[in-house]
Structure 1
């Protein structure tokens, strides 16, 4: 059945913050992981950006995202205890608010460190408990810096720390449910192997996407081997059943086109 309507989806951007990322000392694995999670929710990011630990650059980049009409902004990094961790102050400046020490976060730190007086809280912990005024704060189940949510204009900013283990824990515990409420759709995906080269299969992928506009098909030449050229098929729908049904239709259509030209076509096992 031909798809004729696409549900409007909030624009999402990811910002990975850290000079170590920009100069190539550390790989930005957080953005890769978050993009996959967002796509599964039906919220694929439209842009991923790496930024150095420079407050002017960070604030300008955030402002540009707002001017692009981005509605959901995810950031990783810059929430730690060191002087170059500046994400909170940049977002607060953009929102036109002050920063404050979150009492609930301080109380959580004291409980976990078994401190009896707030004066025992280190400057580093106090810095990680500092948030923009008006923010909603979600505790970190495996680390210290919390997830911080703050509306800025028409966008919602979600600030995550940098360590991948903490990003993933905060996403699973708090962020996934929050974002799922914003998504009008979900997605399903699979990978197939076709006995064609990219130039041969590309017109077929375009034909399937024209027939089923709520799909995305992509061939990966870099992953090609003796068993064929890998092609990802992604389908979006208002619910899991709809997305699964559309995925099946798109895969069947591609299979007919490939095999109709006398070439091999097979599904790969789920990852």
Structure 2
């Protein structure tokens, strides 16, 4: 399976003032494409910390690294500086990126969003990319995203603003993941279980999973109503065809339901 990691940059994520919804959304989208994010890392707006996080990820032979945040025009937007440092590449004005930034600000001036068009140093800063980088179109905001090929890895640096990050991922990153992994389909299911402790459920889950490839089953304790345990079981199946994925999911749900009822539990199917 393609190894994918996510690094989210921003002091606001470490202080807790901003919830890291980017990592959650990216992981969900990556999962829909048939992959699983191997690791989430959060670092502050510090060149050394960013460089160290990228370095450690590349050491783990990450094939696709997604870095979010820190691409803007302000002094604390340092992501590309950190990436350039670990890759030992110069930060330089990328002419294609500069054209993208210029076009955006001309458009904003024409629409009256800003008073006049001007390529200030802060705006030009967003066109400084590590050498040998490819700027990616930002259909929502002003800062171009960046794709970097490094040995056997691809590094994507995306804006931290969720709307911008999502638009660029869908337009530029998701198609590449599909190309790398091929077409995979994910079928999901969920069961609500009562009157069966998780410790009694565990051997049932082991038996179901050990004989099937491409199946992931996870139990989540939800509550105890008096002495009555309540659990949710999440089922996920990844296969090359939708029919195969759905068929195997139904087999898993059927076997789990039968085994849980035989063990004295109650099962109700619900939407995942």
TM interval, short-chain normalised: 0.7 to 0.9
User: Could you tell me whether the CA contact under 8 Å between 1:193 and 1:227 is conserved in 2?
Assistant: no
Show the counterpart of 1:150. Answer: 148
Report deviation, 1:168.
1.6
Return 5+ residue gaps in structure 1 as ranges: 1-8
Q: Confirm or deny that 1:209 pairs with 2:237.
A: no
Q: Could you tell which deviates more after superposition, 129-138 or 44-53?
A: 129-138
Q: Secondary structure at the match of 1:176?
A: helix
Number of paired residues? 260
Q: After superposition, what is the alpha-carbon deviation per residue over 1:131-170, rounded to whole angstroms, capped at 9, x for unaligned?
A: 2222222211121122211112211001111111222222
d(CA) in 2 for partners of 1:87, 1:175? 18
Q: Confirm or deny that 1:264 pairs with 2:270.
A: no
Q: Could you tell which deviates more after superposition, 179-188 or 135-144?
A: 179-188
Q: Confirm or deny that 1:53 pairs with 2:45.
A: yes
Show the counterpart of 2:162. Answer: 164
Q: Confirm or deny that 1:246 pairs with 2:241.
A: no
Q: Could you tell which deviates more after superposition, 259-268 or 80-89?
A: 259-268
Q: After superposition, what is the alpha-carbon deviation per residue over 1:174-223, rounded to whole angstroms, capped at 9, x for unaligned?
A: 22212211224342212111222222212211211102131111111146
Show the counterpart of 1:120. Answer: 118
Q: Confirm or deny that 1:25 pairs with 2:20.
A: no
d(CA) in 2 for partners of 1:223, 1:12? 33
* Pair 104,251 (structure 1): closer, same or farther in 2 beyond 3 Å: farther
d(CA) in 1 for partners of 2:43, 2:79? 11
The structure that is strand-richer by fraction is 2
Q: Secondary structure at the match of 1:142?
A: coil
Show the counterpart of 2:114. Answer: none
Q: Secondary structure at the match of 1:16?
A: strand
Q: Secondary structure at the match of 1:174?
A: helix
Q: After superposition, what is the alpha-carbon deviation per residue over 1:96-136, rounded to whole angstroms, capped at 9, x for unaligned?
A: 32222323313422432347xxx821222212222222222
d(CA) in 1 for partners of 2:47, 2:271? 45
Q: Secondary structure at the match of 1:20?
A: helix
Show the counterpart of 2:133. Answer: 135
d(CA) in 2 for partners of 1:107, 1:120? 8
* TM-score w.r.t. length of structure 1: 0.88
Q: Could you tell which deviates more after superposition, 26-35 or 142-151?
A: 142-151
Q: Confirm or deny that 1:194 pairs with 2:202.
A: no
* TM-score w.r.t. length of structure 2: 0.87
Show the counterpart of 1:5. Answer: none
d(CA) in 2 for partners of 1:186, 1:123? 46
Q: Secondary structure at the match of 1:144?
A: coil
RMSD: 2.2
User: Could you tell me whether the CA contact under 8 Å between 2:222 and 2:232 is conserved in 1?
Assistant: no
d(CA) in 1 for partners of 2:134, 2:128? 12
Report deviation, 1:228.
4.0
User: Could you tell me whether the CA contact under 8 Å between 1:21 and 1:28 is conserved in 2?
Assistant: yes
Q: Secondary structure at the match of 1:30?
A: helix
Correspondent of 1:81 among 73, 76, 89: 73
